[in-house]
Structure 1
Amino acid sequence: MSSPRVVLGVAGGIAAYKACELLRALTESGHDVTVVPTEAALNFVGAATWSALSGKPVHTGVWDDVHEVPHVRLGQSADLVVVAPATADLLARAAHGRADDLLTSTLLTARCPVVMAPAMHTEMWEHPATVANVATLRERGVLVLEPAEGRLTGVDTGKGRLPEPVEIFEACRQVLARGSDVDDLRGRHVVVSAGGTREPLDPVRFLGNRSSGLQGYALARAAVARGAEVTLVSANVTLPDPAGVKVVRVGTTSELRDAVVSAAAAADAVVMAAAPADFRPVDVSDSKIKKADDGTAPTIDLVQNPDVLAEISRERGRADSVVVGFAAETGDDAGSVLDHARAKLARKGCDLLVVNDVSGGAVFGSPDNQAVVLGSDGSATEVPRGTKADLAHVIWDHVAARLNR
């Protein structure tokens, strides 16, 4: 099969240097990449760099190689157009259908998926003109990622930072994998929880679990690639923030509960992929618990944590929302993995339950997963072993089907 053809547009912002890392990720993974920088972008990164990394000559004007009609051909032949960084100026010109350089002409002729990764100062991102331009582009099916928060040019800090190139690459990879069917969650707000909560025992110890957050982060990335606005409630996860996602960091189950309930109030769907601790200590020591000289172990009294999945299933902010839970189960004398899972589905009151057999520590920290997706309507879908991104898309397929009924 031929390599996917990607046009990488680069607008004139200081974050243009980060697009070099995105270009390398695309080319090293087998994509055929043509770089189209604006004239302003060449003030930050020269044409020689783009040519060396892409293995192709770089042009910025519609008058270069006129016989090949590049201002039409590039967009017509592309499988994906990604613009990183997309400045406020570029977003404005694209939203208004300008065709005053090779990049905006390519955007007008492209009939493939388009991804834009904005980067600008916070005030520019929040200006009503930019807000309107982004809304216009999204209405037309363009995947405009939310910028990250952090250090900007100079001493400024805030929202407007280019998402990490590796995460932009992941968004592009997922969009390419889905082809033209990329936005069945467009206009939807979804909430995903990920990771494992920790309940402190003393200043240095906690009760926790082995959840890595990989599946929840895969769900967040997949939802972005399908056009959703995503809030990710992240419990003690060290993974990089997925591009285009609002990340809310929490530590304990109580903090996770508050964050999820708040975000779920106006959400179309909530996927509880996190592993909340079921219990917490009644008392937390202000100082490190010391070993006793006589060798006796301390007694720790526990109290049950709130059941977040049951609460958001029962008290939905929107009556038509979809709630998805996860069940990490092992079989025992009382029943099989699916026996326990079906009982949990009925008890929690959610619409879908993703069941993992974690016997022997399977799933935790692994890039792969296999599961059974149980529905409250009695359905059961087996998902064979594959990547956690693959499972994420199966889950969103089920969610989208219920939202679009």
Structure 2
Amino acid sequence: MRPPPGPPMGRYPPPPQRPLRRKPGEADPDGESRKGRCLIREEKKVPEQKPVLAPEPEKPAARNTKSTDYQLLNGIRVNKGFFWLSALVMFLIVLATISVPMYYVISNRINQPEETADDRTAAAARETKSEDPGFDAAPLRDSFQEIKSAALKRIDDPATMVEEIMAYNAQATGYELARTFSLEGRVKTATREYEMNLFIKAPNQVRQVLTMDEMKVTSIYNGVAGELMANDFAKDRSMDRAMTRAQSVSLLMSAMPSMPLWQFNVDPSFIEYAGQRSHDGVMCHVLRNTALPPYVIEHFLDTETFVEHYRTLDGLDENDQRFTVEVSLKDYQQDGEFMVPTLIEVREKSAIEVTSSFQVEKTRFNQGLLPSLFSLDNS
């Protein structure tokens, strides 16, 4: 078959020729003209204009409360470090409050001396009530409880016990401040009753005057020797003779409540500690006095009040017979700054036994007593 006839040759332009391949990096000279014939178009995009707003204020950075704070009651927040520091301080305060008293209790328990047999005996004796109706030391025990406790702690040291007991006795009785005594009262024996005046001067001078009706008996001890004078005014008779050693010591024993303290102040070497003993249900410190040989005197001082309530003398008289004197000092009463026994009971034993009691009615201290009162020449 013959092909359909086409347009005559030469009426239409020839088809475009494919451009030659460009070398890398070479510009395309027909690029602009070819854009219109391409299906792809490139449009220029205009950036969208946003409205200009006022800058927002800067917000403070949020606190990280989760890791550094604790939330307490009512929304209160506490820093962790401050919370634990406060807890540590409170713990230390509580620990100190508990541990310090415990330390003192334990240390006092360790340093406390072991209880001795004498301590147990003293405790048992203090619980025993005295059966003597004439002596009631309950007020004195309350007053000198602290003194008693301090003395009992050193009961195992006799060398210092004498000094301590004498110091406490001086504080309890006031006798260290007294240089003279004047006592007035009545003396009763088994058959007679006298009015008595006592004049005492430190350390060991005594003048005793007994008066009954028309009779007067005077006994004087000047610290070395004694003299006894008796006057019967009704019969106009008198007697004067020297006192024996036993009579002189007996006078001192019955007339001087301050005897152990004054003797200790003169010469402490004559006073020694002899332990503790119970007398009439009262536990006592016993002081042995050897200042008046050949006799030995023992003074019994209450372990609680440190006042003397009993003393004894033992030895041989001039006839080599056993001679003893027992003196009870009772019913102590306060007279100013002095503690004075108002009842003195005396019992002498030798060939015969003589008992007497002196009821004190009036006392005076630190009066000016003339030396002639204690002179044997002017008696």
| TM-score of the superposed pair, with normalisation by structure 2 | 0.22
Name which one, 1 or 2, has greater alpha-carbon Rg. Answer: 2
| TM-score of the superposed pair, with normalisation by structure 1 | 0.21
Higher relative contact order (CA 8 A, sep 6+): 2
The structure richer in strand per residue is 2
The structure richer in helix per residue is 1
